[in-house]
Amino acid sequence: MPVLLSAAFAAGVLLVFLSLTGGGRTRAGRPAVEPIGRLLRRSGGGEVGSRELGVVSGGTGIALAVVAQAALGWPVFTLAVGGAGVLLPSWYFRQRSVRRRAAIADAVAEAVDALRDAARVGIGIEEAARLLARTGPSALRDTFQRIDRDLRFDGFEAALLTARERVADPGFDTLVAALLMSYRVGGRNLAQVLDGLGRSVRADARARREVQAAQAQNILSARVIAALPLVLLVAIRATNPDYLAVFSTPAGQAILALCLVSVVVGYAGMLRTTQLPVGRRVLR
Per residue in 132-149, pLDDT (tens digit) is 888 888 888 888 889 888
Does residue 251 have a pLDDT over 70? yes
Q: How far apart are CA 111 and CA 194, in angstroms?
A: 10
Structural domain tally of the chain? 2
Per residue in 155-194, pLDDT (tens digit) is 888 888 888 888 888 888 888 888 888 877 766 677 888 8
What integer is the mean pLDDT of 91-115? 84
Per residue in 20-46, pLDDT (tens digit) is 444 444 433 344 344 555 555 555 545
* Same domain, yes or no: 185 and 236: no
CA nearest 70: which of 284, 238, 210?
A: 238
* Residues whose CB falls within 8 Å of the CB of residue 189, separated by 6 or more in sequence, listed in order: 182
Per residue in 200-216, pLDDT (tens digit) is 888 887 887 777 777 78
- Overall size of the chain counted in residues: 284
pLDDT at 38: 55
Rama region for 279: left / alpha / beta (φ>0; ψ in -120 to 50; rest): beta
**Domain that includes residue 253, residue range:** 2-102+227-274
Does residue 226 have a pLDDT over 60? yes
The three-state secondary structure class of 181 is helix
* Same domain, yes or no: 70 and 115: no
126 within a domain of the structure (yes/no): yes
* Same domain, yes or no: 125 and 199: yes
* Same domain, yes or no: 72 and 146: no
